[in-house]
Structure formats: C-alpha cells, structure tokens
Structure 1
Amino acid sequence: MDSLAALPDGAASSPAAGRNAGPIQSVLKAHLPARGRVLEIAAGSGEHALAFARALPDLDWTPSDPSEDARTSIAAWRETAGLDNLQAPLAVDAADPSTWPDGPFHAVVCINMVHISPWAATEGLMGGAARALVPGGLLYLYGPWREADVPLAPSNADFDQNLQARNPEWGLRALEDVSQLARDHGLHLTLRVEMPANNLSLLFRKV
C-alpha cells in the first residue's frame, strides 16, 4: 500500500516491491521447478514479474492484474526488458473464474493481495489455483498475517487498522482461516517462512 511513482514510459515504480523482491526471489528459487509455467495474480506494478522472470529464465512467467493501470505498467516494464519468458499481462480478477487463463501452470504466485482485497478474492484465488495447477504444483503467498499463537507486531496492527479504515472488507487474515480454505480446495500448507518486516511466505501444494 505504498505510493507508486509514475515513470515517463508508463511504468510505475513501487518502493515496497524494490525492497522485498530479493527475499521473495530467494524463496521462489528454492521451491519453484527448474522449468514450467508460472501465473502471477495481482502483479501490481510488474517489477516483481520482471525481477523473477530475469532471475529464472527457464520459467515462463505470466503476470496478471485486474487494474488497467497496473497492466499498463507491467507492459511497459516488459517492453523495456525484452525477456522472452515474460508474457504480456492478463486481466485476471482472482474472484472471477471466467477471467482465469487455461492451465496447466506449475505455480501460482500472489504477493500482497490477500489483505488488500475482499475475502471473495482469496476464495477465488484458492479455487482458481486448484483448477490451474498441475498435481504437486505450488501456490505461493506473501504478506502479513494473523497467527493464533504469535503476537501481532505493532506495525502490522497499525497497518491492519489502516486497511480496514480504507475498506472494511480489507485487513490481515488469520493464517488458520486461509489454510483451511486452501485445504477445502485440495491445497495443503507445506512451508511457512519468516520474511523481513513481519511478513511471511506461505507455500501450498496441490494434492
């Protein structure tokens, strides 16, 4: 939820994306397959897609976002980079099954969406990932969460209040609720990784 800086070519630059791209990339490198198709949901400015496609050249990376402004930014970064494995952005709304592309995909990546969207988007994400992923495929989520036995960091508590003030349907989700929703769709949490700034990487596998 940081301010995006507009660049002359139509791309947007997100300070948060710049800060967390490295740590996220380390986790993805360790757990994504060597080759395959990756669908990124809610790709935002497109800087993550660019960084990960560049770092993982044997993966075919398809970014998506429901926002036209976001897709314009993604397309601008893609044009500048000229990477063969970075596809044109798609207009995917996580909550709308009709907008999801045909699979199969070996991984679905979703960074900082679950808390900045209605719960219906997370429900759609789980259903869509379950349909799109190959057996054993990875669903990767990143962001801040609530955990039953872990005190909420003051910065995350403030962030949660800010989100709910902006939209009552937004806010940090309980990890237990998200994990149960995933299980309902045949996706099982296999790894929880602590990340900088009180965030977590959550890795789910399709049974």
Structure 2
Amino acid sequence: MRDAGEFIDLALQREGSWPRADEFRARLGGDPRVGDLRFYGTSVGAVRGTIRDALVRHRGLNHDDVTALSSELWSVPVFERRLAAVVLLQSKIRVLDNADLTRIEGFLRTAQLRELADPLAIDVVGPLIAGLDTVGRVRADSVLDRWTREQDVWLRRAALLSPLRELRAGGGDWGRFVRHANLALSRPREHDDQAADGGLLREAVGVVLEDVAKNRPELEFTATGT
C-alpha cells in the first residue's frame, strides 16, 4: 500500500503548518513519554478529509490492504500519520476482525497520548468487538481481560474506555466494566511505571461513569477497593 501511504503523507504535510505544529508540540509534546514524536501541524479535520480522499482514490481496499496501510502510517513517529491510521481503522471498521486486536495492541503500546490511544479504544476497539459473532466476542473479551492486568497503562486505559459507545447505546456488559474498573482502581500504585498512571486510569473510569450517568442513570457503580 505504498502509493496510498505516500498520498496520505504528502497530503498531511501539505495541509500542515509550522505555527500549528509548534502549538501541537507545546500542548502534546511536553509529556516525557512522547519521546521523538514529530508534528506536521495538520488539523484533525484535514486528517479526516485526507483519509476520506484516500479511500475514494483507492477504492475497494480489503482487510489486508487496510491493516497494512494502518501499520505503514503508524510506523513513522509523526502524530498526524498515527492519527490518520486511527481514522482509517475507524472508517473501515467493518473489515476488521478479532485477530486485528494484536495489531491494535501494538499501536496502543506506542500511542503515549490520549489523543491517539482514546480514539483507538473508543472508536476502533469498542465497535470492532461489538460487531463480532459470539465466538469472536468471547475471544476478544479475553483479550480485554488480559489488558486490564498488563503493566502498560495505555492497554489498561483502553480496556476501560472500549465499551463506552456500546454502553451509551443501551448495550454492553456493565458488570464486566465494573470489574475492570475496580481492578484498575485497586491496583497498587507501586506497580505503575509513572506516577501519573493511576490518574490516567481513574480519569478513564470517570469518563465512562459520567457518560453513563447522563445516558443510563439506572446503572450503578459499586467500588470494591481504593
């Protein structure tokens, strides 16, 4: 998928601006976890438009094309390329399957930013799992169970945020979320790689609880630990 990847990269650079790149770098690049991530300064709207144009230009992308292109985009540490990979997966969610969680796990481990990890969890992992058949769903749920026990905070955060859309729509497994949330909240702080990790997890739980309180007030959350 090199042609599509080059088309997207060139379009992202063309739509970027140095002042906006400096703004993004100041706002997002201050976290020491971000490392050598670079910025083109391309707006979110332009990233979405670029993927839309690419899918028109390269019609009929199959599963292998989409996953290969997403990996190609993600492989270069540029924020907008990685955001484009997320938007691509969102746009082609129906061609993804249970096995793609392994690839997405790799993306989450290197995301290092809410702006990349959260849409992966909420808009890719969640809808992917919701669209699986019963057998696929059982396998995917076992993956999320494992993510909640992982050392990597972004995997744990993703496991918490992934059911948000399904819960909001009136479905989802509330009991599973409660178990995952209590596991995240009760995890001893000494196991976290960074002091902020616990905050990232509590924040994710809060996002889901706030949304559920507005949309499904009948659901109750009972904390079993601190």
Same fold (TM over 0.5): no
TM-score normalised by the shorter chain: which range applies? 0.3 to 0.5
The two structures have a TM-score, normalised by structure 2, of 0.31
- Looking at secondary structure, tell me which structure has more strand per residue: 1
Bigger Cα Rg? 2
- Looking at secondary structure, tell me which structure has more helix per residue: 2
